[in-house]
Amino acid sequence: MTHVARIDEGARTGARRRVDALAKPLGALGRLEDLAVWLAGVQGTSAPVPPREVSVVVFAGDHGVTGDGAVSAYPRAVTAAMVREFLRGGAAVNVLAGAHGARVRVVDLGVDDDLTDTPPEVRRHKVRRGSGAIQREDALTVDQALAGLAAGRAIADEEVDAGADLLVPGDMGIGNTTVAATLVGTVLGLDADQVVGWGTGVDDETWRHKRDVVAAALERARPYADDPVALLRSVGSADLAAGTGFLLRSAERGVPVLLDGVVSGACALLAERSAPGAVAWWCAGHRSTEPAHRAALASLGLAPLLDLELRLGEASGALTALPLLRTAALLLAGMTTLDSVAPPVPEQV
């Protein structure tokens, strides 16, 4: 049973009063004001501080949808190659995390490679190699879906216990936008044409194949639309199960999350269906080019901070948006109030 922590409404109210009293026209800082109030609620103080200990977790896994014709512009082997690159520090997520003072952790949940040349910590939560081809078979067994969820929850605990005050989920896995589109389409009752995008930059022929794969997977998944665990078993994957567990545990622990692209959006949709109210702990870093991401954010009621036509994953969009959170907190703390600088209003005679 998931018990979502409560947002501190008193802190939100205090922060809103402070925002409205700052030396500026009412509402002049736009969404930065709302961000400051959100931070106040999730930090439990009317004087929120910029997130200092930001933990990025990249959930990696391969997907059986890549086996029957291409759904991606890149082969499955790229997943394992990128896991190794994250460890070397040369990927986009590493560059952005370094610039913004975040730490990066990569976790293999279902990469189709033993990755024996990587540290044991990377492989400690591995559920299986790859996943089933969701257009014709289950992605996971029930036990594997539950193991993925449990792994995500454990990883969130590990990061929070290590001092994280903001969590950022990332993803790596060739074929993962196909899985995410299927999950979003199933939960929201959408068809394949409404959720399938161009992922890694596929051509029209590959997009049509991807759409057909998602359409077949949607047919298989419809009976499980109201059961997140059954959905993850049927058309999910170990890495998306872990991402979902990660978000659920963040809401239980009362630690805010800056969401990334369509994969974390699909996980957020499942997590919110599992634990209504969990969405209050999450902020949408950006909106990717994937139609399924737009649909997921709209359903969750989350307005993205950025819309830069990003489609990389890895937590790259979320980290690009991170300075906005810090800016909002700094403005609230550092600006003077209007009554301290404005001349007194003369009394009416």
Residues contacting residue 165 through CB under 8 Å, at least 6 positions apart: 43, 51, 52, 53, 54, 255, 256
Q: Does 163 score more than 90 pLDDT?
A: yes
pLDDT at 340: 87
85 neighbors 36 (Cβ within 8 angstroms): no
Return the amino acid letter for 70.
A
Query: What's the pLDDT at 341?
Result: 83
CATH number of 54-324: 3.40.50.10210
Q: Do domains 9-49+331-340 and 54-324 have the same CATH topology?
A: no
344 pLDDT more than 80: no
* Confidence band of 200 (pLDDT split at 50, 70, 90): confident
* Interval 101-114 mean pLDDT: 98
Residues with Cβ within 8 Å of residue 246, at least 6 apart in sequence: 57, 59, 152, 153, 155, 156, 167, 169, 267
Q: Which of 145, 122, 319 is nearest to 245 (CA)?
A: 145
In sequence order, which ranges of the chain are alpha helices (DSSP H)?
9-21, 31-43, 77-88, 92-100, 120-123, 142-161, 176-188, 192-195, 204-221, 228-235, 238-253, 262-274, 291-300, 316-334
- Any idea where the domains of the chain sit in the sequence? 9-49+331-340, 54-324
d(CA 135, CA 9) in angstroms, rounded, equals: 44
**Residue 238's pLDDT is what?**
98
* DSSP codes, 35-50: HHHHHHHHHTSSS---
What angle, rounded to 10 degrees, do the helices at 204-221 and 176-188 form?
A: 50
- Evaluate if residue 42 carries a pLDDT over 90: yes
* Whole-number Å distance between alpha carbons of 151 and 132: 19
pLDDT at 333: 96
Confidence class for position 74, pLDDT limits 50, 70, 90: confident
SS3 314: coil
pLDDT bin (cut points 50, 70, 90) of residue 101 is very high
Evaluate the CA torsion angle 125, 127, 129, 134 in order and state its sign: negative
Q: How far is CA 307 from CA 28, 86, 198, 204, 323, in A?
A: 21, 25, 16, 23, 15
Percent of the chain with pLDDT over 90: 90
3-state SS assignment for residue 27: coil
The CATH number, out of the four listed (3.40.50.720, 1.10.1610.10, 3.40.50.2300, 3.10.590.10), of the domain defined by the range 9-49+331-340: 1.10.1610.10
Query: Tell me, what's the pLDDT at 122?
Result: 98
Residue 68 has pLDDT above 70, yes or no: no
Show which residues are catalytic.
314
For residue 205, give every residue at least 6 positions away whose Cβ sits within 8 Å of its Cβ, in sequence order, or none.
none
pLDDT digit string, tens, across residues 122-156: 999 999 999 999 999 999 999 999 999 999 999 99
Q: Please tell me the pTM assigned to this model.
A: 0.95
Distance CA 251, CA 274 (A): 11
